[in-house]
Structure 1
Amino acid sequence: MRYVFLICCCWLLIGCERDTATAQFKTYSQRLANVLDISAASAKPGDIPEFPATRELTLPVEDIRIGILDAYELRKCGLFNLIAERNSILGKVQDKSRQLRYELMLLRGIEHCLKTLPDDFELSDELRSFEQQKQAQLPIYLWNMLVTGKEWRQQLTLFHQPFSLNEFYGFNESLNAFKYLLYLSSQINDQQSVPDKQAERVLYHQEQIHPHHYFGQLIYSISLSSQWLDAITTMLESQEQRIICGEGRNQQTAQYLTNVFYKFFATDLQSYLAELDSQYLEIQPILSQLLLQHSLKTPEMTPYINYYLMGEMHEDFRRATLAHVQFWQRVFKRCNIKVGRSPLG
């Protein structure tokens, strides 16, 4: 039974490997190399930035306290229970998402108290001071959650496994979650309180993104695709003069290469690259706005932001894709091969 189990596991692993973009790139490279009778090219691991450590990104937040008796007085406007919950045993070990939720609801509660309590309420001045201090701290709580909270941080951390050819798990969940954070950021920057129902949604989005490593997997997939394209294009260009074309000449090599192009690149890889490009262009502006807000306070983020969000990685990807396509355009033109139809189709 042990051997049967191991064999089944091996077949499962092989099946998964066949479905990955890496496997398709490998096969594409190998089939081209077979036609040219040379060694296949392979992607060389690039030196790309990792997401900085938690300790390098955490911004300090001053602890603001209120006396127990004063807090009890706030029962008159419904705020005491929230403060008591935060100071309970469970409240003191809240994760980053629940900390942000509490701060949003606390600020909303202070605003409510100032509007509903009598003008001569003895804690009014203190509450106004708390409101100003807490309002100033909200961007930091949001930042700390985004870059150090477990579920949020894992979306941004480089995930060393490319997406499969037809599966991009986590796109909608991550896009919606980051859009929500952008909404929170806008409200905070405009010093607008966030309704409690909206504050609760931070926990909903945390749950939705929990199973995924979306952006970290997306940028790894894009970087790895660039490396594969560069390697294969360089291999093809080194053999370009051996691809014989012309009237009355044997174009068998060109025809075989074209068949490989259509079977492996045009059929699967081209649509995969286009989807990576499309998803990146949709999520990049949102993440750029979120991560640039405190980048000056955390210089460790600069290499990550510059490479993944400010154009370096995407420019490399577009350049690598264009160079590969231009190679085939040259071959098709020189060999008079009609684009869009395999010669043996």
Structure 2
Amino acid sequence: MKALLLPLLLISVVACSDNSGEQALKDYQQRIERVLNLDAESTGLKPVQPLIAIRDLKQTPTDIRLDLSDAYATRQCGLDQLIGERNSSLGRLYSPSKLLHYELRLLSALENCLSQSWQDTALQQTLQDAYKAKQADINVSVQNMLLTDSALRKELIGTAKTLPLQAAGFTETWQALTTLNQLTDYIADKNWAAASDINIEQQLQQLYHYNFIGRLQYSLRISAHQLQQINNLLQPISADSLCANQRETEQLSILSNVFQKYYIAKIQPYIGQLNDYQQQLMPLINNLYNDSPITPMLEQRFVASHLQMRQQLTQHVTWWQQLNNSCPIKLQATEN
């Protein structure tokens, strides 16, 4: 039975299935209820604390613009094109992510301009002042992107949809988060050229397309909730009531089949997958949102839900272990 105590350490290969993780857990509960002739009262999933509204998170960056004559004067280093872009009708409507990318390109251009020789010392000083101000202000644009961009908000708010037993998009999500972390590292190092080369929109598109983070947080919550309901069913039932005088009964035999068919074949590997996703993605999310205003909401959605899921799983496996030690069913983990 000890093999059954390792579901959080190993990722099993799951047989192809179109079922969601939530449905697999519900099926497992229904089979247990049927075998034990129980009728559990289902409780709804508790809501999480909503994210802080965008209007309360968005900051206003310093608006630093050069006049048209300066723009012409800075044509030699390409700054005039950026000034024109920001002053265009599209530039005035940039999303937080596009505005951050613009600010990074502007800093890179300003850095390049200031590396050149200038006869107009007044303009050079103007560029220097603008460069210092933009550097001091860049974190405002970073936070606006992380906290108010629609693609990221979709992930952080979550969705009432679990990841399937085999989920696509993990690698792409991990790569997008890793790239965004690299972006913040470049910004911290004031490596504006490298930061401006990162295609922020592409990373956000990957996150939005797969919605992996949004589904992961819901999967953690619903898995913890469903396991708790199953545990509430099983805890009052003693091993003696299922195998008096240590004799195997038809009911016990059917129950062990339910364990093998649903828990071992589906639930164990699914929970293992969620655990693996959480352990690999959460450090990247934490690094991006460290000490942000929404950190408590993310802790509740991911860390607390993950911990509750593990606790409920341990309790569930302990019940089966006690049954296996008391009754002649000899439960064994099967190869998937």
Q: Is the contact between residue 18 and residue 24 of structure 1 (CA under 8 Å) also seen in structure 2?
A: no
- Give the deviation of 1:145 after TM superposition: 1.1
Which runs of 5 or more structure 2 residues have no equivalent in the other structure?
1-16
Cα-to-partner distance string for 1:120-143 (whole Å, 9 max, x where unaligned) = 543111211111111122222122
Q: What residue identity is the alignment partner of 2:296?
A: P
2:296 is the counterpart of 1:331: no
C-alpha change, 1:49 and 1:172, in structure 2 (3 Å) is: farther
Give aligned-pair identity as a percent. Answer: 29
2:280 is the counterpart of 1:282: yes
C-alpha change, 1:50 and 1:175, in structure 2 (3 Å) is: farther
2:69 is the counterpart of 1:99: no
Task: State how 1:224-235 maps to structure 2 within 5 Å.
Answer: 224-235=222-233
Q: Is the contact between residue 104 and residue 193 of structure 1 (CA under 8 Å) also seen in structure 2?
A: yes
CA distance in 1, matches of 2:246, 2:213: 52
Q: Is the contact between residue 43 and residue 228 of structure 1 (CA under 8 Å) also seen in structure 2?
A: no
For normalisation by structure 1, the TM-score amounts to 0.85
Residue aligned with 1:116, SS: coil
2:180 is the counterpart of 1:156: no
Q: Is the contact between residue 35 and residue 255 of structure 2 (CA under 8 Å) also seen in structure 1?
A: yes
Q: What residue identity is the alignment partner of 2:61?
A: V
2:310 is the counterpart of 1:318: yes
Q: Is the contact between residue 50 and residue 297 of structure 2 (CA under 8 Å) also seen in structure 1?
A: yes
- Give the deviation of 1:257 after TM superposition: 1.1
* Matching residue within 253, 257, 260 for 1:259: 257
- Give the deviation of 1:55 after TM superposition: 1.5
Cα-to-partner distance string for 1:97-133 (whole Å, 9 max, x where unaligned) = 2111111110000000000233654311121111111
Task: State how 1:1-345 maps to structure 2 within 5 Å.
Answer: 19-40=19-40, 42=42, 44-118=44-118, 121-167=121-167, 169-195=168-194, 198-199=197-198, 201-240=199-238, 243-245=241-243, 249-293=247-291, 295=292, 298=293, 301-308=294-301, 311-340=303-332
Which runs of 5 or more structure 1 residues have no equivalent in the other structure?
1-16
- Give the deviation of 1:341 after TM superposition: 5.7
- Give the deviation of 1:196 after TM superposition: 6.9
CA distance in 2, matches of 1:142, 1:194: 16
CA distance in 2, matches of 1:175, 1:239: 42
Task: Tell me whether 169-178 or 279-288 shows the greater mean CA deviation.
Answer: 169-178
CA distance in 1, matches of 2:228, 2:94: 46
Cα-to-partner distance string for 1:143-185 (whole Å, 9 max, x where unaligned) = 2112211122212112111112222x43222221211111111
How many correspondences in the alignment? 318
Cα-to-partner distance string for 1:208-258 (whole Å, 9 max, x where unaligned) = 223232212101110100000000011011223564336563433222211
CA distance in 1, matches of 2:195, 2:229: 53
- Give the deviation of 1:306 after TM superposition: 3.0
CA distance in 1, matches of 2:139, 2:179: 14
